[in-house]
Structure 1
Amino acid sequence: MPVSDLVFLILEAIIIKRTLRWVLIFISVGFLIFLYKKYNPIGNNYFPKCPFKELTGYQCPGCGSQRAIHYLLNFQLIAAFKENMLLVLSIPYLLLGFIFNQIKNPSEKILKYRKRLFGPKAIYIILVIVTAFWILRNISF
């Protein structure tokens, strides 16, 4: 077998593997979207419960995220916001991060914004926001 045919077969296998991976991701995400849109986690036992809340009785920063996703998929923004406002407010930020990661050859301007929004300082700011949200959502006023 010539080397060129071997290289072609290897490249073809890599392309098939990548395509299969994306197809599986697409099917899995589609299934989860269907599941969360159709079924409300409040009334169904097959959705996982928060282990932190089960052990302590306090809400973690992620508590209510499954219900918020259900409400978002059903276009009930206010209900989603009431369940977990941090999740709802973080969606544009997460989408922007995904977009930044998809850019193959970012310009200097894009790199500057990416560093500002997702660099070390931003990580500490996000840590403070999540911690404050965690504390404040457990305080009874």
Structure 2
Amino acid sequence: MACLALTNPTGQSHYTLCPFKLLGFKWCPGCGLGHAISFLFHGDVRRSFGAHWLGIPVLFVIIYRIYSLINPTVYFKSRHQS
């Protein structure tokens, strides 16, 4: 998350580990989500939605997941109530 917040999503010359980009494809759903989250961290909601429309909900899911991993009582309460 820190990497997405600190990188420039509009930068054209950046290092990538994406197998689709390395194979020459122009678009990748994972990269779109990464760019969308990065645009959100930079306050650009319009470009975030343009990069990938699931960026906003995915950011909330990831933040909740990080919170549940840091605070184990949230995870255990939800698992034992079912």
Contact 2:69 2:75 in 1 (8 A): no
Q: Tell me how far apart the structure 2 counterparts of residues 72 and 79 of structure 1 sit (CA, whole Å).
A: 8
For 1:74 and 1:68, the matched residues in 2 are separated by: 10
- Aligned with residue 75 of structure 1, among 32, 43, 46: 43
How far the C-alpha of 1:52 sits from its partner, in A, is 0.9
Q: Corresponding residue for 2:23? A: 55
Query: Contact 1:62–1:84 (CA<8 Å) still a contact in 2?
Result: no
Q: TM-score, normalised to structure 1's length?
A: 0.41
Residue number among 71, 74, 77 corresponding to 1:103 in the alignment: 71
1:89 and 1:49 map into 2 onto residues whose CA distance is 24
Letter matched to residue 42 of structure 2: N
Q: Is the 8 A contact 1:71 1:79 kept in 2?
A: yes
Percent of pairs identical after alignment?
22
Structure 2: give runs of 5+ residues left out of the alignment: none
- Aligned alpha-carbon RMSD (Å): 3.2
* 2:14 equivalent to 1:46: yes
Q: Which has the higher contact order (CA 8 A, sep 6+)?
A: 2
Q: Name the CA distance, whole Å, in 1 between partners of 2:61 and 2:39.
A: 19
Higher helix share: 1
**Number of residues of Structure 1 aligned to a counterpart in Structure 2:** 80
Q: Structure 1, unaligned stretches of length 5 or more? A: 1-28, 116-141
SS at match of 1:64: helix
